[in-house]
Structure 1
Amino acid sequence: MSSKSNPKAGVWLMLAAMFVFAVTDALSRYMASEYNVFMVIMVRYWFFAVFVIALASRSAGGVMKAARSKIPLIQGFRSVLIAVEVLVMVAAFTILGLVESHAVFAVYPLMVAALSGPVLGEKVGWRRWLAIGVGFIGVLVILQPGFGVFQVEALIPLLAAAMFALYSLLTRYVSRHDSSAVSFFWMGVIGALVTTGIGVFYWQPMTQSDWGWMAALCVTAAGSHYMLIRAYEFAEASAIQPLAYSQLVFASALGMFIFSETLRNNVAIGAGIVICAGLFTLWRERVVKQRD
């Protein structure tokens, strides 16, 4: 029985991964509000690097096979990009909170659709372009430019969304040349090198209890990525990708219940518009692929 013959398991793994991602974001928000964000992400990547090296060492061919990429420059750029995106997004958590950061970040699937043409050469029809436009109207509803005092800080998660969209497209591209094991290995190791090059200059003593929270952050961060990979092994990406929006729901709930954040009406309405537009683009992408 092949791994992709169990879509139900894929759905549950995807939902579990999104929940654990949300928990990781909540832990990141707490730790980055207590300590320098560069140090927090550096320690997180140390554990992640050990995790991917351990996985690679247990696989056929070992670490040497996992490190052997056919397109090392693009793999390196992709890995640096996601490390910087994590830094930017966690900084957004400390400034805006989980609710508003994730509401804006939810636009990234629309950015993926918009950039898939120039980056991957994929055709984007007028229906998806219309959905992309509607989605960005949703972002404007969230940001409320022209009403009261516009928060420049709200552009931080938008920048993170753009970076993650480009990372997602590059991940699609490198999958044509390297295995997922190679991409996962590069992401962990290169990310650890990049964040260490910055984070060592911002080291702060950490209390014993906070080391416990840091350990929880490291475990959930690595575990969520692993569950996501397993979910894609059990089910087709087009079938479970819409469930990625559940992270917004989980993260918002944690933000409100743990950090006493509020969900403003414009944020709820704008996020709803963005999600509907994103789901439509995912559906259209699936339809086009089935037609081809």
Structure 2
Amino acid sequence: MHSTTAPSNLTGIAMMIAGMACLSVNDALAKTLTQHYSPIQILFLRNLIALPVALVVARILAGASGLWSTRPLVHFMRGGLWVGATYLFFTSLTYLALAESTALAFVAPLFITALSALLLRDPVGWRRWLAVLTGFAGVVIAIRPGTAAFHPAMLLPVGTAFLYALMMLSARLLDPRESVWTLLLWLTLTGTVLGGILTPLVWVPIRPGDLHLFLAIAVVGTAGVTLITQAFRLAPAVVLAPLDYTALIWATAFGWFIWSEIPDTPTMIGASVIIASGIFVIYRESRAATR
């Protein structure tokens, strides 16, 4: 068993790291595009381009039944939360360094744990509650409210994390027999529909030199989600979940290389506290699941 499991884990780890790299490229492209376009327009065009790919993937990997759902309203509710989360994050990139927005959004697993206890009455022990509170303390360290370093846009990635947590928890309202590819298809579809409704309000003609950026953001965004999804099919979540934080490495590298952004010391200290708390929560939840 070890000979088959270990290679599977290694492949999953490689896919997870590659997927996070793709999503970091996605964010870097979004930051570039927000200089000229509304986040809503960027989100709409990204989903519009990615929708045919998501449709084909769902049809091939989940079959004809993977294109439909018995609870479309739940899917649209989740899609609305996802659009809201992405809009807040893309907007934050207009004002903040890429690594800064990425680090603050890492509070999402802590929101998931807290909301699962408060809304769904899931049992959460004192150790996880302590980790959650410690993680939120890391957010305070990073954003430094009441000081000259604080910018209101720092709250946007935190809002992203909150909406993302609600979206993840709302998956419990769906039929558990639905394929993950069905979920991804409906998220892309909802993003396209909602974006199509809102984009005319903020539409800016696309400059010819930016067409390749919109195509690229759709490709890398779809590739990132696909790689991460496949990774979780090959390796245990407890192995892969901490690798989510490799996005901060990519974000820091891209921010430094493209915009000469270097996160300051309080931001890195706060990010370290948030990441350590998130990893501890993941570890404790895996222990609870095993028991």
- The alignment partner of 1:6 has SS state of helix
| Structure 2 equivalent of residue 128 of structure 1 | 128
Is 1:29 the counterpart of 2:31 in the alignment? Answer: yes
| Structure 1 equivalent of residue 214 of structure 2 | 214
Contact preservation (8 Å) 2:238, 2:286? yes
Q: Within 5 Å, give how 1:103-182 maps onto structure 2.
A: 103-148=103-148, 150-171=150-171, 173-174=173-174, 176-182=176-182
Q: Tell me, in whole angstroms, the C-alpha distance in 1 between the residues paired with 2:155 and 2:75.
A: 27
| Structure 1 equivalent of residue 59 of structure 2 | 57
CA-based RMSD of the aligned residues comes to: 2.0
Contact preservation (8 Å) 1:79, 1:187? yes
Give percent identity, aligned residues only.
29
Q: Which amino acid aligns with 2:228?
A: L
| Structure 2 equivalent of residue 201 of structure 1 | 201
Is 1:46 the counterpart of 2:85 in the alignment? Answer: no
* 1:5, distance to aligned residue in structure 2 (A): 7.2
**Structure 1: where are the runs of 5+ without partners?**
none
- The alignment partner of 1:102 has SS state of helix
* 1:132, distance to aligned residue in structure 2 (A): 0.5
Q: Tell me, in whole angstroms, the C-alpha distance in 2 between the residues paired with 1:237 and 1:172.
A: 17
| Structure 2 equivalent of residue 246 of structure 1 | 246
Contact preservation (8 Å) 2:143, 2:149? no
Q: Tell me, in whole angstroms, the C-alpha distance in 2 between the residues paired with 1:273 and 1:173.
A: 32
Q: Within 5 Å, give how 1:74-85 maps onto structure 2.
A: 74-85=74-85
Count matched residues. Answer: 289
- The alignment partner of 2:70 has SS state of coil
- The alignment partner of 2:201 has SS state of helix
* 1:228, distance to aligned residue in structure 2 (A): 1.0
* 1:219, distance to aligned residue in structure 2 (A): 0.5
Q: TM-score, normalised by structure 1?
A: 0.93
Q: 1:280 to 1:59 in 2, by over 3 A?
A: closer
| Structure 1 equivalent of residue 17 of structure 2 | 15
Q: Tell me, in whole angstroms, the C-alpha distance in 1 between the residues paired with 2:215 and 2:25.
A: 13
| Structure 2 equivalent of residue 231 of structure 1 | 231
265-274 or 245-254, which deviates more = 245-254
Q: Tell me, in whole angstroms, the C-alpha distance in 1 between the residues paired with 2:139 and 2:12.
A: 30
- The alignment partner of 1:275 has SS state of helix
Contact preservation (8 Å) 2:104, 2:158? yes
Q: Which amino acid aligns with 2:155?
A: L
